[in-house]
Structure 1
Amino acid sequence: MPTPKTRIGPLLRQENGFLIRETFLRIEPTVDVYIREKWLEQPGVRQILPVILLHGAGMDGAGFDVPVENTSLADALARQGAHTFAFDFRGHGRSSRAADGFAVTLESSIQDTSAVLDYVQEISGSQQFVLVGISYGSIVASVFAERYPTRIAGIVLLGFLYKTTGVSLEDSLEEAAKAPAGYAFTTEEEWPELFIPTAAPAVIDWHQAHFGTAYAYPVGPYFEVRKLPFAINPERFQGRVLIITGDLDPLATDADVARYVQAVGSPAEKKSHLKQIGVGHLPYVEAQAEAVQQAINEFVAAASADVE
């Protein structure tokens, strides 16, 4: 049951019919995790498993609902019957700010994810879920799935990081180590050049406005990436796996994808890799975003059918 300190907001209906609810889930005495639900009431549409969206480092859950150029993954999932839950890891977005940004780690993010799943299970009755993670969120998703395999029907790993990164992070980590209280800022130039090279101008502008120089993020997750690998028993997970990467991604590598696909315990017919040409690190908002939406919707439908 949610604690008495959890604040569940009112149910809101947007003009386009989408339903929104915001919650601050109290998971520790000084930690509230912000959750934003989005779904559609569609009589006659088959209900599918709840989808939990795990954001990347230096971002928050709002990135899954970019309101321009039809790049909202939350909208695309909701139209197909999914009830989505995008939440902010502690230290990010609207969740509680950690006093020390270096203390935001994989383990704290696993703890946040577990608490959110418990909450979603309580309000939905579902015993299983689909996790969709981007970058750092893909690490969290893969580790959570191997630790709690009976809770997860499928994982979607976008810009997947497993054992290595395509480029060295040492220079950027050296700068991050100087960040006051463990919080740093993203420069505007980094978004289009490094992460979303083929996104539409309006999408780039949205990211710069939302995650640009006014957004302080905890550097702890970046130092966690240096400790790869975290998924050490992938054979324990036997649910569905979809990995989506772009050939312009500076971090995800084909070698990592091949190693993980080989190591994960899922049967061959439940494992797939969609590699996009001319796409960078955030494929769900770039030039082929609609193909990504379709692939994830088909994946969620298949994972839901697996548990019926």
Structure 2
Amino acid sequence: MANTHRAPKQWCLTKIETVNSFENWRQNIIYTLSLDPHFAPFLGDNVQWQKKTRFGPNRGFLNDGEDVAEANRRTREQKVSMLELMLGQIANYCPVISRNTIVKNSTSIENIWQTIRLHYGFQSTGAHFIDFAAIHFEPNERPEDLYQRIMAFVEDNLLRRDTQITHHGGAIEEDEEMTPSLENFVVLTWLRLIHTDLPKLVKQRYGTELRSRTLSSIKPEVSQALDSLLEELRNSEDAKVMRAATSNFPAKSKFVHEEKLKLSYPRSIKSCPLCKATGQTRPPLPQQVLFLTEQRPKIHG
């Protein structure tokens, strides 16, 4: 009979991974290793061992006593052998990390995950959360893909007991869970990154629903109407551009008309007797010049 508990085929980590792809890899390899009863004991949250050195080949393990069933009893050498066999399996699927870093220098399963996270730049630290500000809507990216990236980042930064991060000086006593307010924050950030005016439009369009439902609750409806919402924003922007162009048109036309008049003035006439005689402060227009020329005898007579 086929093994119904067989895990999906394990794949290798590549040079470029995201938080989401790493978590998929990690969860799959944990499940695969847990199916082997020799490896399962080393996967616990509080299980630790020492680095392998010339002076500590047994990595801190002791022989099992009589309190352990004889069928399950292991010597320290057997424990080291099983541990390093498991660590070798992890190293086989993690070629981006030095093999000895995993097999000889690791001290717990969590230590291995943190080492890999550090390599990719998303180690669980207080500073990593600041990278949230660098998330933006990539060209040719689907809005739903952006939402999943934001959600994966926030979920990865939830505080856990197994990290060394403290909050206001206190240790984390239980794993943090996604709260409704945090879910609302994720959806709001998602809308703002797609278009800065989209949150305001969603508030106007879904005002009735938002009286009794959270923003995260109506996210499916917003996703379905996203194309029409963005089209409405584009039409609004186009209308603003047209109104701005229309409002500037009369002033521009007046400016062009005055420029044409300036060009029609005779450039060679800067100051002449006719201007002085008539008291004009600027050169006369061509038709004025003709009229004054015809009347010259009368003026100077």
Q: What's the TM-score once normalised by structure 2's chain length? A: 0.21
Between Structure 1 and Structure 2, which shows a larger proportion of strand residues?
Answer: 1
* Structure showing greater relative contact order (alpha-carbon pairs closer than 8 Å, 6 or more residues apart): 1
Larger Rg: 2
Q: TM-score, normalised by structure 1?
A: 0.21
